[in-house]
Amino acid sequence: MADRQPILVPLRVLEGESVPEGVPGLLANAHVVLLGYHVIPEQTAPGQARLQFEERARARLDEHEAIFETAGATVERRLVFTHDGQKTIDRTIHEHDCMAVLVPNAIGAVDDVLVAVRGTVGVDRLTRVVASVFAALDTSITLYHVAEASETDEDIETLLGGMRDRLERLGVDGSRIETRTERQRAPLDAIVDAAKTFDAVVMGETDPSLATFVFGLPADQVADRFLGPVLVVQREREADE
């Protein structure tokens, strides 16, 4: 049985964002870091917003915490008043060593999940998250890889086969794992297309680059175009970052 992995669930708790249906079930075997945050304009001091909104925000978070705990997750929670939501999310990921972040979109039952495998980098964390979340669920898991021209079939077999073996060792039933490869496509579009027939997506975060600066992180783009929940596995942070 895989260890529970810490997974961040950020919610704009006072703007009516709540835990969508199906999500607590999906994270039943995770350690949920529940982050309720409220973004305020610069004119307002964060402490000022706290004076007025803490009680309401706490009540909402209590409800969400109870929902996750009922589903079986362990929960740790934070309530943050901030001028910069992204900074708060990044900091919480770092401080709580979150393996992945959930972009909470609604789902029904999770019957199948698409796991986008980018390459050998980060595959370890990806494997641990998938095993932790899905080992005890009855979900079929598709390992999906968009190959580059230079990759041979053998390379791909090593990558996906290796991941399948590790998942089995971590307690995932091998008969539930499938693999799928595609070639000659832009990875992002391919993932979005493939995801259409799945209930949830697990993918890695990519390193920030100029392209991500202009177009946004690929994971965010997928989350915007795919309507179900996306688990974004975080890259390993440097200790001093």
CA dihedral sign of residues 127, 24, 94, 82: positive
Using alpha carbons, select from 5, 21, 41 the residue that is nearest to residue 200: 21
Number of residues that bind other proteins (CB under 8 A): 27
Q: Does 50 bind other proteins (CB under 8 A)?
A: yes
Instruction: Using CB atoms within 10 Å of the CB of residue 78, give its burial: 0 to 12 exposed, 13 to 18 middle, 19+ buried.
Output: middle
Among 1, 3, 21, 52, binds other proteins (CB under 8 A): 52
Among 42, 154, 240, 241, binds other proteins (CB under 8 A): 42
Among 1, 45, 109, 211, binds other proteins (CB under 8 A): 45
Distance CA(201)–CA(230), nearest Å, equals 5
Min separation Cβ 146 and other proteins, Å: 36
Q: Does 43 bind other proteins (CB under 8 A)?
A: yes
Q: Does 74 bind other proteins (CB under 8 A)?
A: no
Q: For the chain, how big is the Rg over CA atoms in Å? A: 18
Among 4, 20, 28, 91, binds other proteins (CB under 8 A): 91
Cβ-based neighbour number of residue 204 at 10 Å: 24
Q: Does 87 bind other proteins (CB under 8 A)?
A: yes
Residues in touch with other proteins (CB under 8 A): 40-54, 58, 77-84, 87-88, 91
